[in-house]
Structure 1
Amino acid sequence: MNLVMRIYELGDGTPEVAVIGSIHGDEPCGAHAVERFVAGEPEVERPVKLIVANEEALDADVRYLDEDLNRAFPGDANADTHEGRLAADLVREVRGCTTLALHSTQSYAKPFALVGDVGAVSRSICPHLPIDELVETGDFAGGRLIDHAHTIEVECGLQGSADAEENAYWVIRSFLAATGVVSAPVEDEESPITLGTREDDVVTVYRMLERIPKEPAETYEVFVNNFELVEEGDRFAAAGDRTFTADRPFYPVLLSAYGYDDVFGYAADRIGTLD
């Protein structure tokens, strides 16, 4: 069965580096950034594969058709769902590649990265990306592409925004510089974010601790900012008339009023830095 997935291969040889955009169809920033990068006809120093993943959901402007693709990995070629089959196809395409997956969010305007566990790949690449925060998802990575080796996700900004599209493009450029695909350091006067090797800044690392459940209500609110410490006793969210307060200190990650159906986001701990 032919699963629609747009794939570009640049350079000679078998790619060992890959970039994926629009795993979610309502997050077009990745697709636009991939198209912009390819349209620039860049000179590459090693082969690379760039993929627009869930084209059918992208065309329909929905997150997914049958199930969340980023909860369906590793997938099954004989699955009953479009995304189940697509996940298996996508895993095959990036097998053996150091991979960047581009996303956007309703919770945070600046780019930040997520990995299953902080390892050699994230330690070597993330300090070269235009991010200040790296989140280790641990047990919460099940079904996500980052549950597989050598994959970094970057949330590029607010979903549907022009800034997310611009950020996604420069995240691609800095990732490909860090992996030796394009010349490093990457610097361009038009770039809105710092690129190339970090010299003075560090990436702060957080580890997810638990989901923050969201009960059914007509309206939701959040009162705190992501990656800023919530102290014990602070109110941080509301569902209808019910207000939630912290029973211990935590750092919010992916916390938003309407980003997820059943959770506000995640509580995390700050565990260190990369520099």
Structure 2
Amino acid sequence: MRIECLGGDDPELAVVGGIHGDEPCGINAVERVLDDPPELDRPVKFIVANEEAIAAGERYLEEDLNRAFPGDPDGPTHESRLAARLTEELDGCLVFSMHSTQSYDGTFALIHEPDARVRPVLKHLSVDAVVDVGSHSDGRLFDAVPTTIEVECGYQGSDQATENASRLLREFLGATGALPQERTPEADSVPLFRLDRQIPKDEASSYAVYASNFEQVAEGEPFAAADDREVTADEPFYPVLMSPYGYETVFGYTAQRLGTVEEFDQLAE
């Protein structure tokens, strides 16, 4: 795990790339900042997390790091031990963690029961949507550090994902006062969702997804297929992280639309 601090000592802000070794966008975004460090008004900790998985070109070595938190310093896997170290390193920080996906070419943020430190930042991120993971936080960084904002930056391995990650990183630094010249106006009408349930997929030789992420699927509408067997919605829902091959056993998630990010404070009451 690589850790570098800019802007002073005792940072309360942290930026993380490389939770998954096969998602280079966050790693590249961190490296860009470290290669040409800006003058920061607040100290920030920059972390490249799973260097061993990155070197191997794999998502992880023994288990998914973002399902291993809070970890165990004496755990049986590399990721379990790394999760414990990362949990300790991020304790007390407002965390910005960058990812990429196989399901969506745009950007969206993931949160879990955000507090007063997290909510104002979301209003200054140029994302297509914000998603509360709800009951699906087990083992994720949220479990160990609730003040975490994860961002999905685009298609895994794409140049655009790196550009998106770099832009969103600077927006995070602007929103938190570390790089005030990068502070953007509050976003207008960004939709807010909450994950509901996973959508299982049967064993098959091929899969297809007809639905578009964040666009409502109507009751009775076919939205995916396993071989020639269509999967039909038994009630209306919004698909999130939906793709044919992004997960081994599920297509993705159903979600409810709660409102907009601008209404977040009212919804949180």
TM-score over 0.5 for the alignment? yes
**Aligned letter for 1:169?**
S
Would you say the 8 A contact 1:126–1:203 is kept in 2? no
Would you say the 8 A contact 1:178–1:184 is kept in 2? no
Aligned to 2:36: 40
**Residues 164-218 of structure 1, C-alpha deviations (whole Å, 9 max, x = no match):** 01100111100011111112344xxxxxxxxx1226x122110111000111111
- Distance in structure 2 (CA, Å) of the matches to 1:273 and 1:217: 37
**Aligned letter for 1:80?**
P
The runs of 4+ residues in structure 1 deviating greater than 3 Å are: none
Would you say the 8 A contact 1:185–1:197 is kept in 2? no
- Distance in structure 1 (CA, Å) of the matches to 2:115 and 2:217: 28
Q: How does 1:34-113 map to 2 (within 5 A)?
A: 34-113=30-109
**Aligned letter for 1:92?**
E
2:256 corresponds to 1:260? no
**Aligned letter for 2:171?**
S
**Secondary structure of the equivalent of 1:163?**
helix
Gaps of 5+ in 2: 263-269
The correspondence for 1:231, drawn from 213, 218, 242, is 218
- Distance in structure 1 (CA, Å) of the matches to 2:27 and 2:164: 12
The correspondence for 1:214, drawn from 179, 201, 218, is 201
**Secondary structure of the equivalent of 2:118?**
helix
Aligned to 1:162: 159
Gaps of 5+ in 1: 187-195
Would you say the 8 A contact 1:18–1:100 is kept in 2? yes
- Distance in structure 1 (CA, Å) of the matches to 2:235 and 2:181: 43
Q: TM-score, normalised by structure 1?
A: 0.93
Query: Once the 2 structures are TM-superposed, how far is the Cα of residue 111 of structure 1 from its aligned partner?
Result: 0.9
**Aligned letter for 2:50?**
N
Aligned to 1:197: 185
Aligned to 1:190: none
2:115 corresponds to 1:127? no
- Distance in structure 2 (CA, Å) of the matches to 1:133 and 1:184: 24
Q: Could you say what the CA RMSD is over the residues aligned between the two structures, in angstroms?
A: 1.0
